Amino acid sequence: MQPEKAYLPATAQGIADVIGFEKTMALVRGKRQSKCRSLYVPAPDRMKPSHWLVQTIGKESARDLATEYAGEPLTIPKCSSVTKLERNRQIIQMREQGMTHQDVARAMDMSVSSVKTVYYRWLKAQR
C-alpha cells in the first residue's frame, strides 16, 4: 500500500483500489470544487463521454469505477490528511526551488505565516 493511501478514509481506499490513488485524488479535488461530495455512478453502458466522471478521471477509469459501483450513490470523502500532505509537499518544493515565502503564499492562497510554519517544521524534521 502506498504511504499516502494509508491516510485515506475507507471509502476512498476502496475507490483507490479500483482506479488508483492519483485518480481518486482527482475525484476528491473535483468534488471539493463543486462543493457537493455525493456522486451517482451510472452503469458502464450508460456512461456518456460528457459525464462528470469521464471528464474528471478519463474514460477507462470511469468505466472501471462504474463496473464496481454501478447504480450506487457514493460520497467522496474530503481526504483532508492527504490533501494537507500534498499541499505541504508543494510548499516545500516551491521553497526549495527558490520561491520566497510571500510568492508561495500567493500561489497557494495562504498566509505567509502558514507557509513559514509548514516550511520550518519540515526543516526541523530534516535535522
Q: What angle do CA 3, 118, 109 make, to 5 degrees?
A: 105
- Going by C-alpha positions, the residue among 67, 105, 86, 70 that lies closest to residue 28 is 86
Query: Any idea which of 13-22, 80-89, 105-114 has the lowest mean pLDDT?
Result: 80-89
39 confidence band (pLDDT: 50, 70, 90) = confident
Q: Residue 30: how many CA atoms within 13 Å on its side-chain side?
A: 18
Q: Record the pTM.
A: 0.71
- The per-residue pLDDT for range 59-74, each reduced to its tens digit, is 999 999 999 999 888 8
Q: Give the residue extent of every domain in the chain.
A: 5-78, 81-126
Q: Which residues, at least 6 apart from 81, have a Cβ–Cβ distance to it below 8 Å?
A: 7
